[in-house]
Structure 1
Amino acid sequence: MPWQQLVTAPHVLAVIDLDGTLIPFAPTPQEARVDSDTAALLAELMAVPGVTVGISTGRQRELVVELEQLFPALPIAAEHGVWRRSEGMWSAALAAIPQLDEIEASLRALAAKHPGALVERKSCSVCLHWRRVDAAHHDLITVAAEVIVDEWLETHQQLERLPVIEALEVRHRAAHKGGALSWLRSIAPPGACVLAIGDDITDEDMFVSLREGEVGILVAEHARRTQAQFRLPGPPAVHRFLRWLIDARNSQPLLGASGPTEIEPARVARKRSVEARLVVASNRLPAAPAPGPQRQREVGGLVSALMPVLAETSGIWLGWSGAERDPGLRLRVEDSDPSTGTPAFTRAQFDYPPTWRERFYAGFCNQALWPLLHGFTTRVRYHDDEWNCYADANHAYARLIGEAGGRSADVWIQDFHLMLVGRELRRANHTGRIGFYLHVPWPPLDIWETLPWAAEAIAAVLDHDLVGVQSKRWADNMIASARGLLGAEGEGRARDRVRVIPVGIDPERFAESSLSGPTGGELGSFEAMLGGRQLILGVDRLDYSKGIPERLEAFARLLEQFPEWRGKVSFVQVSVPTRSEVPEYAELRSRVEALVGRINGAYGEADWTPVRYLYRSYDQATLARLYRLAAVCLVTPLCDGMNLVAKEYVASQDPENPGVLVLSKFCGAAERMTLAQLVNPYHADGVAAELDAALRMSREDRIPPHRALRTVVWTDTASAWAKSFLDALRA
């Protein structure tokens, strides 16, 4: 136990949260006051020899004036460390963010619909509180806030969403209590032992930054997942603990030997009835539901496919938390909460060290590998430093996989971010089977070998026991790359390991959602907008690989070459925001919006807008209904590993009156969905001609190809993909 260390260490840094920790919660921060007893306790603690006290709070600077007046020498980190007060002076660690005005306005509009909701604006964050909202409406305001914030964050990558107790906060990624703790360390005596006490999710940033032998105490009435080692039930217990610390330090070693009496372990150590038989590793983890009774969180096809497999195998899903912290790479293992209603599996997450988000993820993964693998060599950027960071990250993933699951677990690596992990596991003498699945294309040899480390990378990929790809084209390209770079021995290894195992969706979910999804609101406005016209639909992430500008040009050619369709069709393009921190994506958005304006200006009428461009995301139920409304779905990526939109569209159709799928021949889906209208997305006139044919197709002509496509979609499901891969890995 660390109590003796707290009592006998030459120096202790006590970092204490304010609301819910040192003082009880109040309906508003203004009503939460430091009473005379608390002030006296703080004064005694600050007077203990060898103890430095610091306050770390999420409050605005203006709301800690009372503490300033009571304790002029007390170091205070306000707004999670954005504002820092030392030696009587305030300084800002980060500049104010004026862009927060936009999300503040959106959240205030939402709060106005829910009596009791409160929006709190700070220098580098905005927080929506619903503590005083009727409990029956908590789910409604939570869902609405998450949708608003997540969509906005796609174009503001320096910010992040943070769920807090009965609230949601949008903040700068660097505005966290881990940074506040680092600052407080810098003004404490060197080598001081840290004691961190806090109650909120924001305090986890403090706890995860603690070093070996330091103490984190969660303040919570009931146990919950935390990185703190110990728990106290509430502010009165915190006061009693601090009283013990004062007395123990002043009379050591007599009181210190027994330890505090009220404190208890914050969480029970995880005990597994069997060792993990499977570890799935991906760059990011799926979102974790909060503990306790929850609304059912929507999950994607990959997640829904892997959850049952992980549950059956006592499995672990390992990946990046999404945060960047110093020092990072500390594994946090969390069993799932049965009350969430999701299959039981274990999450293992970690933070990136500083600079990895920029160098590994945004750098090498998104600006070297992503364009390379999709064949866009003019967009590729190769930096030695970013490659070195990629290798370091893959080595770290391998080490953490071994720490989480042991050397004998089967391991399934997901996608291009982690191509070197199999090699690193082999070097660490991993004895379990190791599989790798590439969700994106593999390019031809003459493109792949532009990578300065091409031979090393493909050799590392072939260190896996099984390599899964989406289509035969990608498999052939990979085998050719192995032959060209590694010779006959490499080709033999590739032919032995590479398998085509196409990814699918859960078609029943889309079929059901297309019938039961919402009919009012935005979809009602879609139907009114159509006014009996036929709907041509495109749904994509805003990415240069998706061919959205080329698609718009093809639609313009349809209106030019087949003028009879003017006023009779409407093209709706849904572009989901993504990777907006990369300059190329901002340029792409501008180009798409300019094209939309040009087409609408050239062909639009007072009562008809040819193109509706929607730069936002939709939930699955809304998308399924939108798919069902569409006479034609235009899926025309320039290059794509699979493209699940094509399968979602087919699954959402009315089998007795289906629409037509117009599909690029350069995506993996085209290999099995051969009865779609296959097109060359680079040939605008050809796409326009296929669109014309699709719009003219009779119901009798549409039904047979749809039945064949439907058979493919219901055969190549997400669960069938997971089963096929794992069966092959274990064969």
Structure 2
Amino acid sequence: MGRLVVVSNRVSIPQGEDKAGGLAVALNALMEHQGGLWFGWSGHTSDDAAAVKTPRIVSHGSVEYATMDLSPEELNSYYNDFSNATLWPLLHSLPEQMHFDRHSLHVYRAVNDRFADMLLGLLRPTDTIWIHDYHLLALAASLRLRNIRGPIGFFLHTPFPSPDMLGSIPEDSIFIRDLLAADLLGFQTSNDAENFVASAQRIAGAARLPGGGLQLGRRKIRVGVFPVEIEPAEFASMAEQACASPETERLRRSLDGQSLILGVDRMDPTKGLRHRLSGFRRLLESHPQWHRQTTFLQIAAESRQDVDAYQDLRADLEHAAGAINSNFGEPDWVPLRLLARAGSREAVSGYMREARVGLVTPLRDGMNLVAKEYVAAQNPENPGVLVLSRFAGAARQLGAAILVNPVDPDEIADALDTALKMSRPERQDRWHACWEAIRGSSALDWGRAFVAALERTDGERDVRRPGAEIRLVSQTATPKAS
């Protein structure tokens, strides 16, 4: 195979620190194993960013990391306004949180074009290009316009909305056509893939091919389902060691025998944090036997602080947390601990192993790796219980969790009560079913499955005769058994 070129909004350059969550965790295993080039934004801004034509390159092992800066205006319009205030809520089917203006759309497209221009000088004819996530919806089309003809894949880490929801944004058909410039489009769940296929048919006029592919004009495109995975054995080992760490021991002492309910999220409107706190409040109201018997620790690392919706969320959470502690707390018992900063990954894994309940209730989520990490962190002899939103992609695999409607505080409260009362044999049975769902998969296998499917599209392109009909089947990643 040719060199793998990964393109994402941010680049995860190893610096001897804990790996970040989400995309970086999923991709690091593949890049460290396979090598290649990883290109994206440096995380920094500079006034002359647009004038710089050559990315900075840092080598680490077999991977080259190439980065470019954004200008302050690009950061505000491309990243804050369009990517995170328009596309993010749209893709999560939360139109009431959307903000749209055409200037931000124009800058978003211009930044996608600049990504293409900066990447162009780094590419080789045999490269396989893998583009990631909603920040770069227009990049595949930009590369095609620059005469890049090699295999291009695109993977969306978020959900994909229904055609009706997608139609609420101007130029929806153009975005669909931009995505169809790729050879392989990957999604977290079959529902997301089907939403895209339906949107491509209704909005962009694409035709569905037998077997699940799409055709737009003369182009044929694969559509596949590739659930993102973690490294379960590695995370389990880390959690077992972290259980004896000073951080976990301090938390354990502070609980003084109480059961721990744990939430770990970015502070994001899609994570259902307002409703989650309401559910915990309802638990204390309707099940007073849990007063002084349980403590809820919610870690909600602050993010996207320049976006108004995120500022409003922090204010709301602090107000709700204060009200819960004021109304139900006692001099020697604080029912809710809210932290607006991230802990180290090792420390959090120890907290997960300690927690009797993992509370993961996003309003909608492409996958949610925290749910899988919580399962991996548990002690098989005395595991905790996962309470999970049925609208998280992970719910498709972790059906043995207690699944809840994340906007129903009463359902959350009843689920917490059930989890806290659950017998050890039932906890073990539920945990074992969840563990079996993730133990045979890994982030590396996920990445390999996508790249292998993408390389097959290149082989089809090579043997395709003018006018020949190629049957394209929808690709679903199959985890490797262990």
TM, length-normalised to structure 1? 0.59
Is the CA contact (8 Å cut-off) linking 1:518 and 1:621 kept in structure 2? Answer: no
Point out which structure has higher relative CO (alpha carbons under 8 A, 6+ apart): 2
Match of 2:471 in 1: none
Match of 1:287 in 2: 13
Match of 2:232 in 1: 507
Q: Does 1:336 align with 2:59?
A: yes
Q: CA deviation at 1:335?
A: 4.6
Q: Does 1:637 align with 2:362?
A: yes
Q: Does 1:362 align with 2:88?
A: no
Taking a change above 3 Å as real, the CA distance of residues 566 and 353 of structure 1, as seen in their structure-2 partners, is closer
Matches within 5 A, 1:61-210: none
Deviations 1:334-354 (A, max 9, x none): 3524xxxxx421111112245
Matches within 5 A, 1:247-258: none
* Amino-acid identity (%): 39
Is the CA contact (8 Å cut-off) linking 1:316 and 1:405 kept in structure 2? Answer: no
Q: Does 1:439 align with 2:183?
A: no
Q: CA deviation at 1:490?
A: 6.5
Q: Does 1:424 align with 2:145?
A: no
1:481 to 199, 203, 207: 199
Taking a change above 3 Å as real, the CA distance of residues 601 and 479 of structure 1, as seen in their structure-2 partners, is same
Is the CA contact (8 Å cut-off) linking 2:358 and 2:387 kept in structure 1? Answer: yes
Deviations 1:447-481 (A, max 9, x none): 11111011100111121111111111211211221
**In structure 2, how many angstroms separate the alpha carbons of the residues matched to 1:350 and 1:305?**
22
Secondary structure of 1:439 counterpart: coil
Q: Does 1:616 align with 2:341?
A: yes
Taking a change above 3 Å as real, the CA distance of residues 596 and 413 of structure 1, as seen in their structure-2 partners, is same
Deviations 1:150-174 (A, max 9, x none): xxxxxxxxxxxxxxxxxxxxxxxxx
Q: CA deviation at 1:508?
A: 2.5
**In structure 2, how many angstroms separate the alpha carbons of the residues matched to 1:385 and 1:487?**
27
Q: CA deviation at 1:304?
A: 5.5
Letter in 2 for 1:525: R
Letter in 2 for 1:540: D
Match of 1:316 in 2: 37
Secondary structure of 1:355 counterpart: helix
Letter in 2 for 1:471: T
Q: CA deviation at 1:573?
A: 0.7
- Structure 2: 5+ residue stretches without partners: 457-482
TM, length-normalised to structure 2? 0.88
Q: CA deviation at 1:312?
A: 5.9
1:297 to 14, 17, 20: 17
Matches within 5 A, 1:523-602: 523-602=248-327
Deviations 1:161-194 (A, max 9, x none): xxxxxxxxxxxxxxxxxxxxxxxxxxxxxxxxxx
How many positions carry a matched residue from both structures? 446
Taking a change above 3 Å as real, the CA distance of residues 314 and 286 of structure 1, as seen in their structure-2 partners, is closer
Match of 1:398 in 2: 116
Matches within 5 A, 1:37-56: none
Is the CA contact (8 Å cut-off) linking 1:285 and 1:319 kept in structure 2? Answer: yes
Q: CA deviation at 1:584?
A: 1.6
Is the CA contact (8 Å cut-off) linking 1:415 and 1:437 kept in structure 2? Answer: yes
Deviations 1:254-297 (A, max 9, x none): xxxxxxxxxxxxxxxxxxxxx962210011111353xxxxxx33
Matches within 5 A, 1:617-696: 617-696=342-421
Secondary structure of 1:540 counterpart: strand
**In structure 2, how many angstroms separate the alpha carbons of the residues matched to 1:298 and 1:562?**
38
Is the CA contact (8 Å cut-off) linking 1:331 and 1:349 kept in structure 2? Answer: no
Match of 1:136 in 2: none
C-alpha RMSD of the superposition: 2.0
Match of 2:4 in 1: 278
Secondary structure of 1:443 counterpart: coil
Larger displacement relative to structure 2 (296-305 or 497-506): 296-305
**In structure 1, how many angstroms separate the alpha carbons of the residues matched to 2:298 and 2:361?**
12
Taking a change above 3 Å as real, the CA distance of residues 684 and 314 of structure 1, as seen in their structure-2 partners, is closer
- Structure 1: 5+ residue stretches without partners: 1-274, 290-295, 338-342
**In structure 2, how many angstroms separate the alpha carbons of the residues matched to 1:481 and 1:527?**
50
**In structure 1, how many angstroms separate the alpha carbons of the residues matched to 2:231 and 2:206?**
40
Is the CA contact (8 Å cut-off) linking 1:600 and 1:610 kept in structure 2? Answer: yes
Secondary structure of 1:413 counterpart: strand
Secondary structure of 1:662 counterpart: strand
**In structure 1, how many angstroms separate the alpha carbons of the residues matched to 2:88 and 2:388?**
22
Q: CA deviation at 1:332?
A: 2.9
Is the CA contact (8 Å cut-off) linking 1:335 and 1:344 kept in structure 2? Answer: no
